[in-house]
Amino acid sequence: MPLITIEVADTVPVEKRHAYAEAVNAGLVEGLGMDVEDRFQVIHPLPADHIVADPHYLGGDRRDVVYIRILMVKMYDAATKVKAFEAIARRMEAEGVRPDDVFIAITENTLDDWYPGARGVR
């Protein structure tokens, strides 16, 4: 049950923001093998001047970065996470986001750290 936060410039139209969210979900379904219904996302449109990314760090060519933060249970190996990164980036590119402008960070915790609503109490 990943919790996804997408930070994007407020100049990106609402429909495109939702397409980005679809792309991230589809990438996680493909890359991690998670259920398509396992979808919990927050989209944060921010003033463009509040999104800062060095344009050339590590040889990149960044222009309009979209930050994607994934909070999830630690249960995937590095190779599986790479598959997810690649699937998300490919799907974001299909929505018009250049691969250099996709920035993904995963934070992991344990099942004990989640409360998914009253029916999820263990």
pLDDT higher than 90, residue 119: no
What number is the average pLDDT over the span 49-57?
95
Q: How far apart are CA 114 and CA 61, in angstroms?
A: 37
- The half-sphere exposure of 46 on its side-chain side, counting CA atoms within 13 A, is 15
Calculate what percentage of the chain has a pLDDT beyond 90.
91
- Give residue 63's pLDDT: 94
Q: How far apart are CA 88 and CA 122, in angstroms?
A: 32
Which residue has better confidence, 117 or 92?
92
pLDDT higher than 90, residue 116: no
Question: Could you give the domains of the chain?
Answer: 3-120 (3.30.429.10)
DSSP 27-52: HHHHHH---TT---EEEEEE-GGG--
pLDDT higher than 60, residue 54: yes
Those residues whose C-beta lies under 8 Å from the C-beta of residue 44, and which sit 6 or more positions away, are 5, 6, 7, 8
Looking only at Cα atoms, what is the longest distance across the chain? Answer: 47
Mean per-residue pLDDT of the chain = 95
